[in-house]
Structure 1
């Protein structure tokens, strides 16, 4: 039997809340680690820091069987960019 759309919407809402909570936990964990590593004291442009963290992510993904860079990841530093600063 097919589920009514109201049930599907309820499930979607629950999953969105679970996703939000998981992302919050992940952000807090990464934030604590970044502070522990001393990144809170460094004055650096956000873009440069994101680029450096992407390099770290690639380094740790190597050998784990995961793709080196997800398709939705921002372009590498120095890549052509549009007027909004995005590739």
Structure 2
């Protein structure tokens, strides 16, 4: 039995809302973790920060290619340099703000 287009549109709208809610939860979680690690206090270019996050994601995916499709998003720095950039500073406790 085929669904009428109006029902499909309603389902799509409901799923889009669920997706927005899930993305918001994920963003808040990652943001809290980043703030606790001290990333809120570091002045860094957004593209460079995104590249670092993509490297972290790749590491936790078990070395699989990043979802962006780009083979190398780093700026040529070694992994150890990137890791030291992301190491929490002395004031990494955060303020608990999200």
The TM-score normalised by the length of structure 1 is: 0.77
Give the Å deviation of 1:69.
1.6
1:77 to 2:74 alignment: yes
Give the Å deviation of 1:54.
0.7
Distance 1:54 1:9 in 2: 34
Moved >4 Å (runs of 4+): none
SS of 1:56's equivalent in the other structure is helix
SS of 1:3's equivalent in the other structure is coil
1:10 to 2:7 alignment: no
Segments of 5+ residues of structure 1 without an aligned counterpart are 79-87
Aligned residues between the structures: 73
Cα 1:41–1:74 change in 2 (3 A) is farther
Higher relative contact order (CA 8 A, sep 6+): 2
Q: Note the aligned Cα RMSD (angstroms).
A: 1.5
**Residue matched to 2:54:** 54
Distance 1:55 1:77 in 2: 8
Cα 1:31–1:74 change in 2 (3 A) is farther
Distance 2:42 2:18 in 1: 33
Segments of 5+ residues of structure 2 without an aligned counterpart are 76-98
Q: Is the Cα contact below 8 Å between 2:52 and 2:74 reproduced in 1?
A: no
**Residue matched to 2:24:** 24
